[in-house]
Amino acid sequence: MKKKVLIVIALLTLSFTFMLITNGCGGGGKATGEKTSPSPSTSSQASVQQISFATSQPGGVFYPLAVAMCDILNKNVPNVRAITEQTGGSVENTNLLMGKKAEIGFATDSVALEKYEGGKYFKYGWRLFEDTLEYIALADSGIKSIKDLDGKKVAVGAAGSAANKLTIDLLKAHGVKNFSPQYLEWEKSVDALLDHLIDATAGMGAYPIPAIQGVQARANINLLQADPEVIKANFKAPVYPVVIPAGTYKGQDKDVTVLGISAGAWIRSDLPEDLVYEITKAIFSNLDYLGTVHRTGKDQHLLTPEEAQALGVEVHPGVIKYAKEKGIWK
């Protein structure tokens, strides 16, 4: 009997050990409301600080960049356990920062600024890339520009998302008023497009957007042209026209103008300066590696004092400390 008890205990111990090993740095899955503000663990690894990156779904650019950054931090910053959280994107990420359920959140700057509140909950980290809102339609539809969407069924993103607000504003700015908005998340909108249930949908990210490339593997598409003068007249910084060079996507034989917006890494205001300094230093010391994940990875950008003032944000003190070492701040 005693021998059986010992065997059971041994099996339970092995099972628990396996759980600890497999619950590693690859990611935290979907963000949930159950996560509380991370604090130093009360276990034997009491000094380990968990750093959660709120990102997006894997089809966007936020997610793979965050996975690579977590890899960098886990290999280069002692006593840090970095993980990724798959989320709905910018709006959810800023909410997670405000609720202290993530430490770093990726967000388009326009969305983050709406909830900025003078840096009460989060401050600017660094610029990630130019985000773009790219509308696509099936090649045989004859739809080639945003203005062609009048009278069409158009996916406008999930209600309340950053893409949703920008798409509605973009369509209206182009005089597209008689359209049927379809509040669909990306994957559902793609299925609807391929089944000819809607006429167009939009992807959001730094070009080339992996999710749009995925659609091209299933169908021929047109990347829809936006009017740069319309964007300039109806939007203000950090929103502006961006030209996607010919050849970026399969079958794209000419430059296409789309709506662009800067996106940044936003950091919880209460994270210690020294910790954020080490995080920033590790990431900016490994930009070549980030560049292997996506073309924008190597172009991470530390704001100058003038750029921060123009955007109307405070940069986290830990980032400023690193920027001073590099001569970007005095």
Query: By residue range, what is the domain housing residue 218?
Result: 131-262
Average pLDDT over residues 219-231: 98
Mean pLDDT of the chain, nearest integer: 87
In a domain, 283, yes or no: yes
Is 9's pLDDT higher than 80?
A: no
Q: Look at residues 245, 242, 224 and name the one whose alpha carbon lies nearest to residue 174.
A: 224
Which of 209, 239, 262 is at the close of a domain?
262
In terms of C-beta density within 10 A (0-12 exposed, 13-18 middle, 19 or more buried), how is residue 125 classed? buried
Indicate which CATH number applies to the domain containing 281: 3.40.190.10
* Tokens linked to 135: 């509308």
pLDDT tens readout for residues 100-151:
999 999 999 999 999 999 999 999 999 999 889 999 999 999 999 999 999 9
- Same domain membership, residue 292 and residue 208: no
Say if residue 40's pLDDT is above 70. Answer: no
Q: How far apart are CA 186 and CA 157, in angstroms?
A: 7
Question: 175 with 251, same domain?
Answer: yes
What pLDDT, in 10s, does the model give residues 54-91? Answer: 998 887 789 999 999 999 999 999 999 999 999 988 99
Alpha helix stretches (DSSP H) within the chain = 2-22, 62-76, 90-98, 109-114, 162-173, 186-194, 210-216, 228-234, 273-284, 287-291, 305-311, 317-325
- Say yes or no: 213 and 226 in one domain: yes
In which residue are the tokens 């300094």 written?
277
Residues 202 and 172 in one domain: yes
Query: Do 148 and 198 share a domain, yes or no?
Result: yes
pLDDT (average), residues 213-234: 97
Mark which of 241, 262, 283 sits at the end of a domain.
Answer: 262
Classify residue 162: in a domain, yes or no.
Answer: yes
- Domain shared by 166 and 250, yes or no: yes
Beta-carbon neighbour count of residue 329 at 10 Å?
Answer: 17
CA 328 → CA 277, 278, 304, 318, distances in Å? 14, 17, 6, 14
Q: Are residues 123 and 272 in the same domain?
A: yes
The vertex-294 CA angle with 61 and 224, nearest 5°, equals 60
Considering only residues 236 and 29, tell me which one the structure prediction assigns the higher pLDDT.
236
| Interval 196-210 mean pLDDT | 92
pLDDT for the residue 165: 84
11 within some domain? no
User: What pLDDT is recorded for position 35?
Assistant: 37
Question: What does the alpha-carbon distance between residue 254 and residue 247 come to, in Å, rounded to a whole number?
Answer: 7
pLDDT at residue number 28: 52
159-168, 207-216, 314-323: which has the minimum mean pLDDT? 159-168
Domains: count for the chain: 2
Indicate left, alpha or beta for 9 from its phi (over 0: left) and psi (-120 to 50: alpha): alpha
In-domain check, residue 40: no
Clarify whether residues 255 and 135 are in a common domain. Answer: yes
Q: Are residues 239 and 116 in the same domain?
A: no
Does residue 174 sit in the same domain as residue 248? yes
CA distance 154 to 217: 21
198 with 97, same domain: the answer is: no
Q: Tokens 């399969």 — which residue?
A: 250
